[in-house]
A = this chain, B = another copy of it.
Amino acid sequence: MARLVEVKRQVLSKNDRLASKLRRRFAKAGVTVFNLVSSPGSGKTALLEQTLRKLKERNYRVAALVGDLQTENDAQRLRRSGAQVKQINTCGLCHLEAQMVEDQLQDWTLEELDFLFIENVGNLVCPSAFDLGENLRVVLLSVTEGEDKPLKYPPVFISAGLVVITKVDLSEPCKFDEALVLKNLEAVHPGVPVLSTSAHSGEGMDSWLDFLESSRS
């Protein structure tokens, strides 16, 4: 066990160094980078599909990297927005690492982008330890998952720069208690900003887009 901990420490430390290098590279190129993390099925791809489309309408140059254990489905779906999209197939690995991001950037000119979104593997645990060089980590929590999730999975919520509550069009059938989620978020990460959205109904999308725009300045 001690050996595993030591090897993991080395992997994380190597990842952190590469992430710092990526962060400097992104800043120099003037591209703002978001790392989207959540459980499987929290609506990362649905939010991202609308986001890419709407940012293009606002004349931003956008791209996305999409991590999955397998399949090209999400990349295909996101390409319908007209944005540049690449799939990162992790071959079973439970999270993205900075090296996987760097590998995908080789034939992209970052200077030609305003926003880059990285959709992590659906996992509320493991991605929290891996910095990808992003400007901001966005943790999604859907109203279907239960209000206790911040208390049960604190590391990822502590690492969040923004929490986006998703699928709010389902709040009523799910009897979602927003005040309780906000209280639980405040308990594990005091002051973390929170937005509520539905990619389906469009609710909250303008606030999310405004947040993204303001993060450029």
Contacts and interface: CB of A to CB of B under 8 A. Distances in A.
Interface of A: 1, 3-4, 7-8, 11, 39-41, 68-71, 73-74, 92, 94, 121-126, 142, 144-146, 148-149, 151-155, 167, 170, 173-174
A16 to B, nearest CB: 16
B125 A144 contact: no
Given A152-B68, A152-B71, A145 B8 contact: no
Contact of A153 (B122, B146, B152, B155): B122
Contacts of A148: 71, 73
A146 B40 CA distance: 9
B125 A73 contact: no
Nearest to A146: B41
Provide the main secondary structure of the chain A interface.
Answer: loop
Given A40-B145, A144-B41, A71 B151 contact: yes
A11 B4 contact: yes
Nearest to A97: B1
Nearest to A125: B94
B3 A7 contact: yes
Contacts of A39: 39-41, 122, 124
Contacts of A149: 40-41
A167 B174 CA distance: 10
Nearest to A77: B148
Contacts of A73: 148, 151-152
B142 A69 contact: no
Given A39-B40, A126-B126, A170-B144, A155 B11 contact: no
